[in-house]
Amino acid sequence: SSACAVRRAGDRHRGGMAGYGVEERAAPHSLEYRLYFKDAAGRYISPFHDIPLYGDPGKNVFNMVVEVPRWTNAKMEIATKDPLNPIKQDVKKGKLRFVANVFPHKGYIWNYGAIPQTWEDPGHKDENTGCCGDNDPIDVCEIGSKVCSRGEVIQVKVLGTLALIDEGETDWKIIAINADDPEADSYNDINDVRRMKPGYLEATVDWFRRYKVPDGKPENQFAFNGEFKDKDFAVNVIKSTHEHWKALVAKKTDGGEICCTNLTVSDSPFCCSQECAKATVDAAPPCRAANPIPPEVDRWFYYQKN
């Protein structure tokens, strides 16, 4: 469909200086949908393994892969078990996953995504939370004013972190701001968010506590009584998950079903050629116009907080 061609052409300029592009396959909001990543030279890459951790190492500015634009509901995520780790929509019990709107929230209340080259090792018990990792790259809530697009690669300033305990696993949520945000210079730590965007951190805890309740699940729990940790703490968490990722791609840790195929990690036994990467994408169904979003995704859920 022409929609896909236009989308790709527009994507060539996306991602700021990083110059990453994306290529859609199959129809958005279908089980087959995949969004593959390319570097500035148009070569296929894995967003999990081939985009570097740092956008600017000297300044603690990290790369972030945007999976879910703010205000949208489709639970898109890096497919850690697929070759090249494209973005796909999460599936639960055979159905595509959309997060519920729990009043007063609409969809995701930040741009949501992941920091590449990080991994929350399910075999590693976190000394801060006493729980093991959730087997994914570390999650980021980006609080800037621009609504990003799916697959965009942005540079973010890390401000702090929240430790969600999701069904017994540690699931760190990094709070960050787009380094290109007009107000980014005013944000240097978690207290700046409290001062400049009053209510946003409280809303973030509320969102994560309650977003699974409409699906019949209990409220989520947090480590540290739902208190946010500061920037230095958050950066240390990112660095430790980066070390776990290094062990994963070097095959020093057994990653189970995780696909570590990559094109740029020089000492990784999972390195593959561009030909093999292209064959993976070519095997995916062609891009099609998006399927309609089911009307029930617009429902608003109200319930008394405990």
DSSP 255-289: -TT----BSS-TT-TTB--HHHHHHHHHTSPPP-P
Question: Total structural domains in the chain?
Answer: 1
Query: How do residues 55-109 score in pLDDT, each as one tens digit?
Result: 988 888 999 999 999 999 999 999 999 999 999 999 999 999 999 999 999 999 9
| Structural domain that includes position 156 | 53-258
| CATH number of 164's domain | 3.90.80.10
d(CA 85, CA 262): 9
Domain assignment of residue 11, yes or no = no
The answer for residues whose C-beta is within 8 angstroms of residue 10's C-beta and 6 or more apart is: none
Distance between CA atoms of 177 and 294, rounded to whole angstroms?
31
pLDDT given for residue 8 in this prediction: 45
On whether residue 60 sits in a domain, the answer given is: yes
| CA–CA dist 100, 170 (Å, integer) | 22
Report how far residue 41's alpha carbon sits from residue 29's, in angstroms, rounded to the nearest whole number: 29
Q: Is residue 157 part of a domain?
A: yes
CB-based contact 21:11 (threshold 8 Å): yes
Examine the pLDDT at 258 and tell me if it is beyond 90.
yes
**Residue 231 included in any domain:** yes
- Measure CA 273 to chain center: 26
pLDDT band at 34 (very low <50, low <70, confident <90, very high): very high
